[in-house]
Structure formats: structure tokens, C-alpha cells
Structure 1
């Protein structure tokens, strides 16, 4: 089944009771049982909900995985993975991470005796030296937030297997439409469903997908026992969003390409971060493991100070200054004070994330209008 068919049909059947084409919202907290301990597969909505089950099955199919789980947020999905670890375990992770992930690592789980080692993973041949007997999990984003760093998933999967470490890929920026980490060897794939998968800036949700049944059972146990599950209405909205994922991603990619090349040629812009450029580090890796380069872009001005960057963001009219990304509407953000503010400044600067960096989530509006908006904000 091709991707455009999967988003409509995979894991989705007409409602067996009514024949409804759209998956119903099972807005209930509990389910009737004919006899104590005997039920029809559903007992309590924290543990199972029919609307949630359909979404989980659909997302698993999109990632070519056997199992899927959805959570109340992307952060609660990450939390479920970290609960697989024990004090003394070590996580090998990239220096380029979403600020919320960094905060969860360093301000929550580090206090429970789990160690986090942050390294540059763009050079595959140097990663092995960072593993040791305590390395139990490798966590990456590719493309990374916000500088679009590219990591070789297949190559790193081989290294993780050699050291018997779990390998998890945050695939939020690429989506299953552009990249499939499970197919490339990842043990777990994580998504902030809030972003491209839902696609309409009206849902908060996370997801995990895996091919390993024993790993799925452990993660499902964490999902149920911790209780960070999404409600059925949010699952319904996410299912509705998924149906147009392939169409939306095509436009995000087309518009992203147009905006990236416009910014690169603008006299006031010094650097554009977009994996579609041949000079982007690991461009050939991105070309090999992604089907296109997405709609996320970051750039810095030649006047490399925070004040001119803020002025540009405040002048934009179609690009809305807001947190988040991946919706149909174009957004602009300032990572240093917004999405990555929880990372200490010295750590941000060390990884190349300047105070003047501007991040764009290019939406699906008409590209000409978006270029015009950037033109008037940047000036001549």
C-alpha cells in the first residue's frame, strides 16, 4: 500500500456498529462488562479507547512499524522512553536538540541518576568512541531543531546494534512522508504529533512507533501506568489531519525550497540552514534517507545581532510569530528566547545556535505571498 493510500485506509475500518466512515469519538471513561473481569477488549479509557487504537494503528503503518502508541504530548512520549532506563544508565545524544527535550534530560532525569552525554553526531566515524558499557540509549533528531543538522540513521543504527544500545529517532521535522527511521534500523521512532502529522495547530500529542513487541509492551505499560494519554477528541482530530499529510507535505516542501533559495540570494542574509543545499553538512545523507527536504528553515542576517533579527520577525505579517511548527500556516520563531530558551546560552552558542538565529516553519500558503512578506520584512 502506497503512502497516500495508507493515510486514508491503514488501520481504519468503518465503525462496526453503525458503518460510520469516520472513526467515532468514543467519549467515555469506562466500558460495560457482562461479568466481572470479562469484557469485549475495553475496560477503562486510560488503558484503551477505540478512537485512540485506530490512530495508533494508522501511525504505526505510516512508519512501517508493527506497533504504535500515542501520548498526551510529545514530551510525555519521550518520558515513556526514558522510563525504560535505570539509575547509572547513560544516554548518548546530540548537541542539537529541541529545548524541551534538553530540559527533560538535564533537569528531570539527570536527578534520578541517569547520565546524558551530548556529542556532535554528524560525523559517523567518530561516534563509536563515545559509547561505553553504561550506554543504554541513543537519542537523535534529524533534521534537528532548529539548525537542520543531518545524522546518518542507517549508519548510526549499525553502531547502536554493535554496542547493544536502544536507538530512538525524533522524526518530527521529516514526518513519515519524508523519512522512515524504522526501515533504516531505528528501534523507536518518536513524533510530536502536534506538528506536521496533525497539521492544523489544534492538537497537543506525541507518538512512539516500534517493530519490537517486547519494547512495545514496556512502552504500553508506561503509557498506561503513567496515564499521559490523549483524549478521544484529540485522537479524532489527529486522524483527520493525517488524511492530508502527504498533500500538505508536498506543498511544505515546494514552498520550503522556494523560500530557502530566496533567502540564500538575499543581500541581507548571511547563512541559511536547509538540508536541500549541496553545501549543507551531510546533504548527501539527507538526500539518501529523505525523499525531500521539508519546510523547516533557519537563517541569520549579515547584521548578526539580536535587535535586527527581532525587527524582521516583528515586521512579518503572514509569518506569525509563535511557538510550534508544522501547521498549514507559516510561523516564525526566535529559538534563543522561545523553543530553546531552557538551554543555557553558553551551550546554545557552543552548538552554533546564535541569539540572532531566526527559524521559519513554512506553511502551505501561496509561495509568492510568503516571498513578498519576507521581502518587506527584510527590506532592501
Structure 2
């Protein structure tokens, strides 16, 4: 691991490393193939699916930031998931959290049930008996997501890694929500770290990519072979943009967190904001663990709208600064409804088990002027309050109303949403 601080590693990612002309900013190698030095004399680079200089610079930066031995840069976050699963055989068991990202959940359950690619055990890491459940499963790989998506629940990475050692199991941590600026799972004992580079690492919502950072060099070489074999490696252009994005990672994260703290303070005073899910709150169940294993609390916030689900449309329609969209981690503020968007691939029972209620809203707080963000939320809540008054003032749920007590949106509306061909990929 580099002895330089993270801010320096990120800011100088790829800088002054051009061997040809000494360019300070690294060139982008868009070539698909490379000339061999001579017959039967392959060079370091022969075909860009296998190796590419631009992608290698990004991988080196990620290795330094996460403290790994090798980084595999993939074309999507989901392909990074697929790559990590190559450590498993049909006889092996994968343990996943009950509240993981909907796309990951879809991948795991379908590979296990339809393809018999591995055995799958789903564990609630927030329960007191999580260690007993994992031990009984005898897993080959334990998959963690902390903070979780979308409820921002915290898992004690070091405790899971200590248990994994006794079971001779590998531990993977999805670090997408925090980035290496705020959490370093390998330093906590993890074997693999996964990122959707689409999010905070790139930071500008203009690429789709993933990465898998591996602690052990031999395992890294094995997964590199699989990355080439499966054809999941990232292209030069996306790698170049992600490398550029990483250079501003630390100042971006600082601005994200400052804005998020102000948004949380505002939501705590807003009667129409029900339960707030944010590890920075002292009453959050995982606050102490998050404070111990993270370098900050991040900029992802979820909360329950304390009103009937029929008012969700009013709330979203009124927003101007927060954009209703998939994804997170860009410089712009985004908002989503996990139940019908990011986690729509989970059926109703799985969503209920994960604690995803019908009025749950997830915010990805950007780096705009916070006064504009707070004003945007204020006028959206005001629109909901006005709609409730127009309906006779009896449609609002109480501030402490649990998600299970809120009436779901009309079935036909959700079916209409799911039948939208533009959104078909999410379930």
C-alpha cells in the first residue's frame, strides 16, 4: 500500500507516467490491438481485452487507494460481481446480506436457483445470531454491503472477517456507498473490495463501470484470467474518465458530506419526514461501528415519507434540484424510490424482509449549494402538505409511523411502472 495519503494518491492518479512523451496527464489508449516486437515475441500488451495501459493506470490507482495487490477494472458494477463469483463452484456456499442492492440480489438468487452455480444462504447481519448462521452455512465467500442499500445499515467488517478466518472463508465488501475515501475494507481484514465505479469513484454520472480489488496477488491473477476469459474488462475511454474523476474524489466527498449533514439536520425538523436512515445520527443502531470503521458517514440518506404512498408522486413532481433517477454518487443530487426503482427486482416479500417500505425515499446528496437543496426539499414537502389539506387533512401518517403502517400505492400504478420498456432491465 502506498505510504502517501489518500488525497495525494487520488489527485496524482496517472499523473506524469507517460513513458513515450512525458505527458503530465496520461494519454488515452483507444487501440484494440498492439504490434508484437517480433515473431513469437509477445509484448506486455497484445489485445485490449487482456491488457490496456489506460485501464492499468486506473487499476494501479485503485490498488493504492484500497491497499490491494491487484485491481480488475470491469465494464459495469454487475460484471465486477460476476467476476468475484468465479471463486465459487456448485459445491460452495455464498452468504449474502438480506438487504443488499436489488441488482446483486437478482444476480445471486437467479444464479443459485436457475443455474445451480453455488449454494446461497441469506443472513440478516443485524440479528444477534448472525455469526451462528454463517458458521452453520460453512461458506466459501461472505458478501458484505456496508452501509447497505437503501437502508444504510452497518455491518462490523472486522468482526465478520475474524469469523471468516476461522471458517477459511473469503470476505468481499461492496464499498460503493463510501469509496476508499471513507472506508478501507482490506485494512479491516477483507479479501476483496468491490466498486461500482459508476458512482463516487467516477463521480460525474457519465460512465458505467466496476472494479474488484484483491488483497492476495495469486487470487488476483486467477481473477484477472477470468476477467479476460469472460470479456468483462472495461474499455479505455471509460477507464480514462474514471481516472480523471478519481483525481477529485477527496474534495468531492468532503462537499458531499457537508451537504448531507445539512440535509439530515433539515429532515429531522420536517414533520413529513418519518424515520431517517443515516449512520451519522447518534441513535442509528450502527453509529458506533460506522464511526470506528469509517472515515466519515457518507452522503447517502434514506427516509420514510410520513404520508400515504399516493403522495409520493406529488413529492417527486415538485422537486427541481433533486432529479428522480437511478444511480448515485455523482456531483448532482439524485432521488429515488427504491421499491419501484433500484430494488424493483426484489419481490414484495423480499422487500418486506429487507425493511423496504412503500414510502421509503433514497437521496444521493450532491455538491450543489446546500441552500438550494434545502429549499427544494422544503417546497416539495410543502406540496405534499397542500395536497393532504386538499384531501381533507386526514391522509398524513404520523411522524413516527412505521413503513408497514403506510398504505401501499395503487397496484395499477406499480404495474404501469413495471411495464415501461425503458425500465424493464431493473426487474
**TM tier relative to shorter chain:** over 0.9
CA–CA distance in structure 1, aligned partners of residues 220 and 128 of structure 2: 28
Whether contact under 8 Å (1:335, 1:357) holds in the other structure is yes
Shifted more, 284-293 versus 115-124: the winner is 115-124
Other-structure match for 1:64: 67
Larger gyration radius, structure 1 or structure 2: 2
TM-score (norm. length: structure 2) = 0.86
Q: Deviations over 1:327-351 (max 9, x none)?
A: 0000000101110000011110122
Other-structure match for 2:301: 297
2:216 aligned residue (212, 215, 224): 212
| Residue correspondences, number | 379
Whether contact under 8 Å (1:128, 1:159) holds in the other structure is no
1:367 aligned residue (370, 379, 391): 370
Quote how far apart the aligned CAs of 1:12 are.
4.6
CA–CA distance in structure 1, aligned partners of residues 274 and 35 of structure 2: 63
Aligned CA distance change for structure 1 residues 125 and 184 (closer, same or farther; 3 Å): farther
Other-structure match for 1:154: 158
2:316 aligned residue (287, 306, 313): 313
Whether contact under 8 Å (1:272, 1:300) holds in the other structure is yes
Shifted more, 61-70 versus 317-326: the winner is 61-70
Quote how far apart the aligned CAs of 1:110 are.
3.2
Q: Is 1:92 paired with 2:111?
A: no
CA–CA distance in structure 1, aligned partners of residues 349 and 215 of structure 2: 38
> Which 4+ runs in 1 deviate beyond 6 A?
none
2:130 aligned residue (123, 126, 132): 126
Whether contact under 8 Å (2:273, 2:304) holds in the other structure is yes
Whether contact under 8 Å (1:192, 1:205) holds in the other structure is yes
Other-structure match for 2:29: 26
Whether contact under 8 Å (1:124, 1:156) holds in the other structure is no
Other-structure match for 2:206: 202
2:354 aligned residue (351, 355, 368): 351
Other-structure match for 1:101: 104
Quote how far apart the aligned CAs of 1:37 are.
2.9
TM-score (norm. length: structure 1) = 0.97
Q: Deviations over 1:134-157 (max 9, x none)?
A: 411100110010000100011111
Other-structure match for 2:414: none
Can you give the 5+ residue segments of structure 2 that lack an aligned partner in the other structure?
386-427
Can you give the 5+ residue segments of structure 1 that lack an aligned partner in the other structure?
none
CA–CA distance in structure 2, aligned partners of residues 352 and 108 of structure 1: 24
Whether contact under 8 Å (1:124, 1:155) holds in the other structure is no
